[in-house]
Amino acid sequence: MFACAAILLIWAILGLDWWSINRQYSGNLDGSSDDFMGVPTPSWGFLLFAIGLVATLLIIEGCRLLFGVRDQANQQFALQRQMIDHASEAMILTDAAQRILSVNAAFEQITGYNAAEVLGLTPTRLSAGHQGLNYHRIIWDFVAENGYWNGEVWDRRKDGSLYPKQMRITAIRDETGAASHFVATFADISEAKAQAERFDYLAHHDQLTNLPNRLALDAHLAGLLDGAVPGINRLALLIIDLDNFKTVNDSLGHHAGDRLLAELAQRMGAEMDRSTRLFRLGGDEFVVVINQLDRDDRIVGLLNRLVMVIGQPCDIDGHLLHNTSSIGVSLYPEHGRDGLTLIRNADAAMYAAKAAGRHNYKFFAESMNAAANKRLHLESELWRALAENQLVLHYQPQIDLLSGKVVGVEALVRWAHPVRGMIAPADFIPVAEECGLIQQLGHWVLLTACRQVRSWLDTGIDMGEMAVNISAHQFRQPDFVQTVRGILAETGLPANRLELEITESTVMHGVDAAIQTLAQLKAMGVRLAIDDFGTGYSSLSYLRRFPLDRLKIDRSFLADVDTDPEAASLVTSIVMLGRSLGLQLVAEGVESFAQAEFLRTLECERVQGFHFFEPVSADEVIGFGRCADYVPLPA
């Protein structure tokens, strides 16, 4: 429209000029010249026409360029608007008074408000005051001073629900430096925070039991001890270790072990109150932290409750499991003033409880640190002992009381330590079981014993059967039967020359699996004996199902048979029970002539102990063929 008006105006001016020139030219027709101001009159018309044409073309071209720029600007604006509307972050444009001038589609989607509902309002009015007006005032004061603000705030949607958002506010300033507008962008971070919280939960909790883990324990102790004052604040830390938990995993599988851990965690958790917290340290170890400890009898009460709930039978896949625990206790500030020291000392107390027979608890004492360090050192040395062949076998003869002859030997492992000398198995077998060396050690013992018997037989020496103790971990290995078969094949030893001694507690865990394993060994011709009979909880109905050859009477029953009628009666009952089941009896730990005579009168077939022979090396034992003190009983 403006361009048309300009063109018309130019042509009107040019036309007026042409009219003016023609008028003057007409007034001068009677003059002597036919030109106007030195220019022929027709040339003026052409010149004016050319000027008008050029001006028109320039205006048209200028308008075209201007329209092009306008269209390009409109397209750019439309594109920018589309970018804003398609942005995942919400955007708000306000004036200097913080009144909303424009919002994008993401704002409508996140907040639930459409643009018409919020135009002219301030963002503060939409927040419904969740964090208070003072908080928003602090934000805007910061923007006024620095020109921007960035941070996390909570807001309220149209439906009233609260949500967290990450927001940035930027001031737009005019030529004078005053803020003319504000642009706010924000994103809903509800899902991101929920995911972060989930990751944090997983990082600080055990997935099996849902209990806080070691990482959470360290943070909890750090928080408690950071502000604790010795002499004013006291707390206790308990480490709970389940006794013989590996037996469950080895016999029933890790699934059953996991179910048992979850069940016991739930039971122990029910005993916690507001000032106690339960953690899973790892494996079968749990930790209890008692805060605000006012008296020691409170610890004892909790310990007794924990021992009770752990000891209650657990039905796992049809197996009724009886559990015990060993618990160590350390106190702040008496036994440590930082979390690491308290955990270490409670751990030492727990091992002391295990060494004292398990199924009990111990409070930390300074002497336990020396024992714990000794155990750790012993463990590292035991790995080296296996690698450097420091282990040796000694053999203790078994005597037939009725004939006085040596009818077998039992292989007993010894550790020939290069510095400490000969170490008895009672000092290192428990360490081997706890550190996972027992399987390698047991395999070495079985293989070495079978090789020794084969060597004796090849040189014409008959020492009878070779009895070898089998650990629970060995026996429950899925390939144990194949291992025994492979050792017999490798050494060429007849199966009936090998007797495997297995404790009754071993076979009573997972009875059906134990029966199957024993039956396979029996089918190979291997002899089977129950070791330490009477110390466990054998059921006679189960005992009859085991394909056994012998029962070994534990040494603890023989200690007082010559002075205690009840002890003598108990041993007599065991011998009679063995006979009723068709089993031979072997009494171990015979240390006096009176004990031997008592067993002889009961016609107990075999005995072994220091009264007859001590365990000796393979070269020494071949000299024992008969015990001179005993001759056949008269017919």
Residues in the chain: 635
Residue from 275, 273, 257, 274 nearest 209 by CA: 257
The secondary structure of 254-285 as a DSSP string is HHHHHHHHHHHHHHHHTT--TTEEEEEEETTE
Residue ranges of alpha helices (H) inside 32-160 are: 41-86, 105-111, 115-118, 123-126, 133-146
CA distances in angstroms from 321 to 35, 247, 257, 353, listed in the order given:
133, 11, 11, 21
Give me 73's structure tokens.
């600007």
In this prediction, residue 633 carries a pLDDT of 41
Cis peptide upstream of residue 333 (ω within 30 degrees of 0):
yes
Q: What is the DSSP string of 533-569?
A: ETSS---HHHHTTS--SEEEEPGGGTTTTTT-HHHHH
Angle at CA of residue 285, ends 279 and 289, nearest 5°: 35
- The one-letter amino acid code at 201 reads Y
Q: Is 319 helix (H, G, I), strand (E, B) or coil?
A: strand
Reduced to 3 states (helix: H, G, I; strand: E, B; else coil), residue 465 is strand
Look at residues 419, 350, 360 and name the one whose alpha carbon lies nearest to residue 390.
419
Q: How far apart are CA 121 and CA 101, in angstroms?
A: 9
Q: For residue 504, how far is the Cα from the chain centroid?
A: 34
Q: Decide: 321 and 313 in contact? Cβ < 8 Å.
A: yes
**In degrees rounded to 5, what are phi and psi of residue 312?**
-65, 140
Strand partners, 40: 35
- Report pLDDT for 154: 85
Q: What does the radius of gyration of the chain's CA atoms come to, in whole angstroms?
A: 48
Phi, psi of 157, deg, nearest 5: -75, 175
Rounded-to-integer distance, Cα 399 and Cα 136, Å: 94
Domain 87-193: give its CATH superfamily: PAS domain (3.30.450.20)
Q: What number of other Cβ atoms are within 10 A of residue 583's Cβ?
A: 20
* Residues whose CB is less than 8 angstroms from the CB of residue 168 and which lie 6 or more positions away in sequence, other chains included: 148, 149, 150, 184, 185, 186
H-helix segments, 180-253: 190-204, 214-226, 245-252
Return the DSSP state at 632: P
What's the pLDDT score for residue 627? 56
DSSP string, 480-540: HHHHHHHHHHHHT--GGGEEEEEEHHHHHSSHHHHHHHHHHHHHHT-EEEEEEETSS---H
**By C-alpha distance, which of 614, 553, 559 is closest to 592?**
559
Burial of 566 from C-beta contacts in 10 A (0-12 / 13-18 / 19+): exposed
Asked if residues 145 and 153 have their Cβ atoms less than 8 Å apart, the reply is no
pLDDT of residue 580: 84
- With the C-alpha atoms ordered 51, 54, 60, 61, is the resulting torsion angle positive or negative? negative
- In the numeric block, which tokens belong to residue 77? 């604006």
Q: What's the pLDDT at 634?
A: 41
Could you state, in chain order, the average pLDDT of each consecutive group of 10 residues for the chain (635 residues)?
A: 64 63 57 51 59 69 71 61 65 87 85 86 70 75 87 86 88 85 88 85 89 93 88 90 82 85 94 92 92 82 92 86 90 90 92 85 82 73 84 91 88 88 82 80 93 92 92 86 94 94 79 87 93 62 80 84 84 86 88 87 88 87 64 41
Phi, psi for 535 (deg, rounded to 5): -95, -10
In whole angstroms, what is the distance from residue 332 CA to residue 12 CA?
106
Residue 28: its pLDDT value, please?
54
Q: Which two structure tokens, joined as six digits, stand for 588?
A: 């171990």
* CATH number listed for the domain at residues 378-621: 3.20.20.450
Cα 497 to chain centroid distance, Å, stands at 47
The dotted CATH code for 205-365 is 3.30.70.270
Tokens of 410: 């039992």
Distance between CA atoms of 69 and 91, rounded to whole angstroms? 28
Phi-psi region of 38 (alpha: psi -120 to 50; beta: other; left: phi over 0): left
pLDDT at 632: 43
Distances (CA, A) of 334 to 221, 302, 431: 16, 19, 29
Axis crossing angle, helix 339-355 with helix 214-226, rounded to the nearest 10: 120
d(Cα 392, Cα 382) in Å, to the nearest integer? 13
pLDDT of residue 272: 93
Per-residue pLDDT, 41: 52
**316 φ/ψ angles, rounded to the nearest 5 degrees:** -115, 110
Would you tell me how many other CB atoms lie within 10 Å of the CB of residue 248? 26
Partner residues linked to 150 by β-bridges:
168
Both tokens of 558, joined, read 């023989």
DSSP 575-610: HHHHHHTT-EEEEE---SHHHHHHHHHTT-SEEEST
Report domain extents, the chain.
2-84, 87-193, 205-365, 378-621
358: left (phi over 0), alpha (psi -120 to 50) or beta: left
Dihedral angle at the C-alpha atoms of 450, 451, 454, 458, nearest 10 degrees?
-170
Whole-prediction pTM value?
Answer: 0.54
Supply the angle between the helices 367-387 and 339-355 in degrees, to the nearest 10: 70
CA–CA distance, 456 with 459 (Å, rounded to integer):
5
In this predicted structure, what is the pLDDT of residue 539?
55
DSSP annotation of 31 reads S
